[in-house]
Amino acid sequence: MSTHSPWAIVWLRHSLRLHDNPMIERCIHEGYRPIVVYITPSRELESDRWGFTPLGPHRKRFLMESLIDLRSQLNDHGVKLLYLEGDVIEELSRVCNALGAPESVKLYADREYAYFDQKIEAEVEAAFDVTWFHAQLLTNPDDLPFSVTATPHIFTKFRGKIEKYVTIETSAEEAQWSKLSQQEAALSASLQEYTKALPCDAKDTLPKDNRQAFDFCGGETASLARLKDYLWNTEYVTTYKETRNGLIGPDYSTKFSAYLSLGCLSPKLVYHEIKRFEEEVVANQSTYWVIFEVLWREFFRYIAWQHGRHLFWPGGIQHKPVKLRTNHQFEAWRKGETGQPFVDANMRELNATGFMSNRGRQNVASYLVHDLGQDWRAGAAYFEHQLLDYDPCSNYGNWNYIAGVGNDPRAGRKFNVAGQAERYDAQGEYIHLWNE
Ligand code: FAD
């Protein structure tokens, strides 16, 4: 590559990794020098209608750790990471202007699937020369045996079609870093100025609770270590189906979700590593079941894409006529002070750590909607604020489902919370841990 290779912007939305990163790979392949940009949109930093900041402190810490890790890896290749906050179009325009005329700067970016993110995509498309990639998906939408608008509403049908007709592509090739010459790495001073400082180390920004299920540390490096550990070192993947309803500790489930949500870990890599494990070690119901769950993640992305803004509406994707309300009981739920010990324990874990098991999430969501009669959207917004692994498609998809306005073939999921506690926390260990 000549020393005059032009700049191009790689705008990483939720693909904070170097492995399976087709945006960076293509950018370098097409002869550009990437400048990698991450933008926290203003919306995530401002109070929502319920008074919560979407990007709460747990996910912010995890995001910062992920960006610090990404910056360090990009630095090794002489590539800069810019961290920006604000209006996406304005921020991209500022970077484009600093690099050259906006109309001549190329952009490479990963697609999102929730309505508000897709709306931004349309604006970006109108303003810039952008090439999009489906880097957050396991499947390629063009390979599906149905159009997105005809995505099956029932998960079992969706999964059946994917398993029967779709081949999961291998990860994108590694970028040809050697094509970049080190001399080109300098950025103009004006561009340097735009960048918000990333902390050197995000670990001290929030104290960690030693009861947490897993030592969630953001970034690709930690995500690859967890993948290796869960499959190859401990082989816990071979017992996932039996342990996945657990509540305490790192081993009952994969703990991949936060890494997948920010894209520190590629779903394709997870899929192909499990397939390799099945060939080299053992294939059983548990190894299959992790892929089964990752397909739920995939399903909710297509459902979000298919239904647009309705996923966020009171009547959900079913457009059901519903009347919703919130009162002091929502506050009690949020703080873990309902008096229902299983619900309270789970909410306290969420508040202290940013994580809650799937079993816990189903129960607290059901309790809020079906026992306390509260607006499911307030619960979803609170999850958005607290969860390390928040993503709009999985979060609002699951809340729709439990509230009875989503994909459930039954009319919503009401859990007998006391019965669930007896079944999954028979000795009361979990309740004791978080209510002490
Ligand atoms: P594992 O049990 O090990 O599963 C492996 C992977 O499969 C997960 O990492 C995740 O990517 C995917 N997965 C598993 N279950 C689901 C599911 N029900 N829906 C979608 N994907 C799934 N998950 C999120 O990633 N982000 C969210 O914002 C989110 N909000 C939720 C809200 C509610 C009300 C409920 C009931 C579930 C929600 N989930 C969400 C799904 C699920 O609870 C978490 O993905 C899971 O608990 C994360 O732990 P794990 O990585 O150890 O999962």
Q: What tens-digit pLDDT sequence spans the chain (436 residues)? A: 445 688 999 999 999 999 999 999 999 999 999 999 999 999 999 999 999 999 999 999 999 999 999 999 999 999 999 999 999 999 999 999 888 766 789 999 999 999 999 999 999 999 999 999 999 999 999 999 999 999 999 999 999 999 999 999 999 999 999 988 765 556 666 676 677 777 666 665 677 899 999 999 999 999 999 999 999 999 999 999 999 999 999 999 999 999 999 999 999 999 999 999 999 999 999 999 999 999 999 999 999 999 999 999 999 999 998 889 999 999 999 999 999 999 999 999 999 999 999 999 999 999 999 999 999 999 999 999 999 999 999 999 999 999 999 987 676 689 999 999 999 999 999 999 998 7
User: What was the pLDDT predicted at 186?
Assistant: 63
User: What was the pLDDT predicted at 183?
Assistant: 56
d(CA 345, CA 239): 26
d(CA 95, CA 128): 12
d(CA 30, CA 309): 36
For ligand 1, atom 45, the nearest C-alpha belongs to: 257
d(CA 229, CA 250): 11
User: What was the pLDDT predicted at 203?
Assistant: 60
d(CA 296, CA 336): 28
User: What was the pLDDT predicted at 199?
Assistant: 66
Mention every residue, 6+ apart, whose C-beta is less than 8 A from residue 186.
none
User: What was the pLDDT predicted at 104?
Assistant: 80
- Atom of ligand 1 lying closest to residue 399 CA: 34
251 Cβ closer than 6 Å to some ligand 1 atom: no
For ligand 1, atom 23, the nearest C-alpha belongs to: 394
- Atom of ligand 1 lying closest to residue 300 CA: 20
Mutate to test the pocket of ligand 1, among 223, 389, 401 (most ligand atoms within 8 A of CB): 389
Whether the pTM exceeds 0.75: the reply is yes
DSSP state of 371: I
398 Cβ closer than 6 Å to some ligand 1 atom: yes
User: What was the pLDDT predicted at 1?
Assistant: 45
d(CA 254, CA 236): 8
- Atom of ligand 1 lying closest to residue 384 CA: 28
Cα-to-centroid distance, 176 and ligand 1 (Å): 34
How many secondary structure helices (H) and strands (E) does the chain include? Answer: 18, 5
d(CA 114, CA 112): 6
Q: Are strands 106-110 and 7-11 parallel, antiparallel or unpaired?
A: parallel
What are the E-state strand segments in 106-197?
A: 106-110, 129-133
Cα-to-centroid distance, 296 and ligand 1 (Å): 8
- Atom of ligand 1 lying closest to residue 293 CA: 7
User: What was the pLDDT predicted at 40?
Assistant: 96
User: What was the pLDDT predicted at 350?
Assistant: 98
Amino acid at 62: F
